[in-house]
Structure 1
């Protein structure tokens, strides 16, 4: 009896031990996974052998908290290869960043993470080359509720309302206005969600003076100089207008929408409500550097300007050093959302998502790739970078006015970004290096409108005809020059 009882106890212990073995093995495998050294390959569109800036901006903190993971940065296009471009008699073809990105995403040693802009990401989504992140977000209960809504919505617009990437930062612009100039004119200042027509009407009321005393009501840029032909893209981009079709085979500017754009902007320039681009710039009589020179807003030459987020630093610095600058009065300013079109009331502000992070569908290390993206878009990372990044962090809890000031910081992230009109545009410019001259040709015809030599309709018709000739030539010979 005693021996049989002892035998049963031995069998019970052995059975328990055998059940525990898989658990022990599992723990060992998990611990091994946590301690083994792994390489995570991260692809960028452009880069160089010295990738220190990218690492400082994004991945150093991740490596510090994940000592078993080593980040290898792989550039789709090495910027060093661009040295000497265009100096030879025979024109070289620009590197195709999208095609190069696809190459490093495939093959024997594909990259794990892709860092790209909206146009590139949209192309990769359309070709099923990046993973959908929604299942991972749900599985890990990764909180996206604090991410700026316009950023999330902009990302979803790229992927048919699914999330294929996240971005830790974004850049944006807003409408800056000079409070004192509005008070002096007895005009109510702008508010959020105004249309372009609303702003242009305000600008007309704020415009006054002649010669060097002239004050513009509005400017597309903070700096003086340059034709509105270039800066008015901010006006028409939300309307999804294109200069030529997606294959660069036919001009699309000969249309009622384009005519309205040119008519509106040229009249504002002719009436001096906005800068025309040919105004003389103030020069320091002693030839010294003047930080206000050419800055329409700081010099109170424009009541309203479109400026990006980083412009706040210049305003703060100028106001802090007002006593050191002769003739400068501190600018009492605030911001509101950029103007919108009634056809697209939620879109504007030039929100730019340039650091979208996605997982390669062929990633060798997808788990660490997701860990990197989660960390880069976490509250911890946002807290670290909120005050040191030149862009805004994507988590709105950490977006605060700078230097203890009180201004409408939400104006920079209320509106949704403009979706890319043509994801193939960069590729077209790379294959046809002279394609930019088709766009540049428009400047010649717009100037004729500003000089009252042609109506907008006439000028656009001639640009369309000339542009079609140029596109036909490029179709036959992509390396053709003009």
Structure 2
């Protein structure tokens, strides 16, 4: 009896221990089933740069709320008092940050916020090849440390050739088509530049800055390895190709890049080289369509483009795991399909998503949106070697734009202009070195 009593006591003790463990779950309910403990609520701060709260809500908030009901999303737009340096100084660093390549160093890494996503990608067995490799390679190169500091969020900004259908109809000229060369576009521009009924019509306009910056050679302005203009011969080829359009009588370029960029919207310009962007506003009275960006002889048959922004995680975040899960949700096939249908180009390689571009949009659904998918995107522009002084991208682009306008308006020749541009770049480098 003593042995039986001791055995019974051991069984009772073991049962008590097992009941106390609970497997990480709450005590069983009346039916004997374990109840999962609710997740602790907390707030996730997301800084979206210049993206408006309305756009963020339209694209992402419902998805996040449904998938993460225990997390309150606080969205912060860049503005007075909410720039990233100001938030860092105030000790109010967001968990998720929308970064981009031009400001990755100054607006993220220099602020000691950099967090490498590589381990989280491995942990979640996340499929990086679902993205266009160009976009992944660019963020890794821009970080200068082989780290993966973000994942590409739409949109990116592919180049296209816009045209005014009403003007082509009025003058009995056939519309532009996909796959054209710049020589063919030049011939069209000559035909379409004219004066009729006292009204002047231009054959061609452009956004000079992004037309040069986003070029088919992926040519940088400042040389990646030396303190000089990158490959002047290629820049001369690009300048010579574009300036001839502005030498057509009565197709004079506007005095500023911004004015030239909006010339097409006035309704008296036949064609425009520009990005496809949901932020580009063309008035409804302009009956436009688009074709693929023209091909330049000697250049790859690729589509020039401006890369996307990226979702990054701050090193200081206490919620890195959940932040990465949110990134995965915002970059899911389902969200990118909805983006694509709104006219926002996907960062994925998936053809079914590409084919839906603009089909759910009242304007884009009537346009040749597949024009941007005729050619693959060009590789990214090589960044300056680590350790070298650099000139802010916006400064480089402004210098390039004003230089081209001087050439296109006949104030100087190409060779002189490029030498002057190099001198200005070197002067800017000296300013950076002396800071």
Residue 377 (structure 2) aligns with: 416
Distance (Å, rounded) in 1 between the aligned partners of 2:331 and 2:121 = 12
Contact 1:38 1:70 survives alignment (8 Å): yes
SS at match of 2:264: coil
> Deviation at 1:6?
6.3
Choose from 269, 272, 293 the match for 1:301. Answer: 269
Maintained 8 Å contact 1:170/1:394? yes
Residue equivalent to 2:39? 35
Q: Which residue of 1 aligns with 2:57?
A: 56
CA contact (8 A) 2:389 2:432 kept: no
Which of the numbers 105, 120, 136 marks the counterpart of 2:120?
136
Separation in 1, partners of 2:232, 2:380:
21
| Distance (whole Å) between structure 2 residues aligned to residue 449 and residue 309 of structure 1 | 25
**For residues 336 and 298 of structure 1, do their structure 2 counterparts lie closer, same or farther at Cα, with a shift above 3 Å needed?**
farther
1:328-477 to 2 correspondences below 5 Å: 333-337=289-293, 339=295, 342-350=298-306, 352-354=307-309, 356-382=310-336, 391-392=344-345, 394=347, 397=353, 399-401=357-359, 402-403=361-362, 405=365, 407-412=367-372, 415-416=376-377, 419=380, 422=383, 436=395, 439-440=398-399, 443=402, 446-447=405-406, 450-451=409-410, 454-465=412-423, 468=426, 470-471=427-428, 474=431
1:166 equivalent in alignment to 2:127: no
TM-score, normalised relative to structure 1: 0.63
Deviation of the 1:170 alpha carbon: 0.8
Residue from 137, 147, 162 that aligns with 1:176: 162
Indicate if the aligned counterparts of 2:45 and 2:74 stay in contact, CA closer than 8 A: yes
Contact 1:179 1:189 in 2 (8 A): no
| Whole-angstrom CA distance in 2 between matches of 1:405 and 1:438 | 33
Query: SS where residue 256 of structure 1 aligns?
Result: helix
Asked whether the 8 Å contact 1:241–1:258 carries over to 2, the reply is no
Alignment of 1:250-269 (within 5 A): 251-252=228-229, 255-269=232-246
Change (3 A) 1:179 1:140: same
Structure 1 residues 341 and 9: alpha-carbon distance in aligned structure 2, compared to 1, 3 A threshold: farther
Task: For residue 190 of structure 1, report the CA deviation from its aligned partner.
Answer: 3.1
Residues 438, 467 of structure 1: 8 Å contact kept = no
SS at match of 1:71: strand
Backbone CA RMSD of aligned residues: 5.0
- The answer for the alignment partner of 1:117 in structure 2 is 100
The residue correspondences of 1:290-329 to structure 2 (distance < 5 A) are 296=264, 299=267, 301-303=269-271, 305-310=273-278, 314=282, 317-318=284-285
CA contact (8 A) 2:290 2:369 kept: no
**Relative to 1, partners in 2 of residues 1:363 and 1:393: Cα closer, same or farther, differing over 3 Å?**
same
| Structure 1 residues 116 and 210, CA gap change in structure 2 (3 angstroms) | same
User: d(CA) in 2 for partners of 1:252 and 1:364?
Assistant: 44
Q: Which residue of the other structure, out of 132, 153, 157, is the alignment partner of 2:134?
A: 153
Counterpart in the other structure of 2:248? 271
The match for 2:71 is 69
- 1:18 and 1:399, CA in 2 relative to 1: closer, same or farther beyond 3 A? farther
1:154: how far off? 0.9
Question: Per-residue displacement from partner, 1:97-150 (whole Å, max 9, x unpaired)?
Answer: 6xx28x83x9977542221112334675799954444553454355667x5x43
C-alpha contact (below 8 Å) 2:156/2:308 kept by paired residues? yes
Change (3 A) 1:340 1:27: farther
Question: Which SS does the other structure have where 1:416 is aligned?
Answer: coil
The secondary structure found in structure 1 opposite 2:102 is helix
Q: What residue is the counterpart of 2:177 in the other structure? A: 190
The alpha-carbon deviation at position 348 of structure 1 amounts to 1.1
Superposed, which structure 2 residues align to 1:3-42 within 5 Å? 4-5=3-4, 7-8=6-7, 11-12=10-11, 14-19=13-18, 21-26=20-25, 31-32=36-37, 34-42=38-46
Match of 1:327 in 2: none
Asked if structure 2 preserves the Cα contact closer than 8 Å seen for 1:219 and 1:275, the reply is no
Distance 1:79 1:266 in 2: 38
Which residue pairs with 1:207 in the alignment? 190
Cα distance between partner residues in 2 of 1:17 and 1:344: 73
Instruction: Summarize deviations over 1:226-254 as a string: whole Å, max 9, x none.
Output: xx5x4642564743231x5679x955279
2:271 & 2:10 partners in 1: Cα distance? Answer: 89
Q: Give the alignment's TM-score, normalised by structure 2.
A: 0.69
Matches of 1:441 and 1:199, distance apart in 2: 21
Mapped to 2, the partners of 1:415 and 1:461 lie a distance apart of 33
Distance 1:172 1:272, change over 3 A: farther
Q: Give the Cα separation in 1 of the matches to 2:11 and 2:124.
A: 39
- The alpha-carbon deviation at position 353 of structure 1 amounts to 1.3
Report if aligned partners of 1:335, 1:407 keep a CA contact under 8 Å in 2.
no
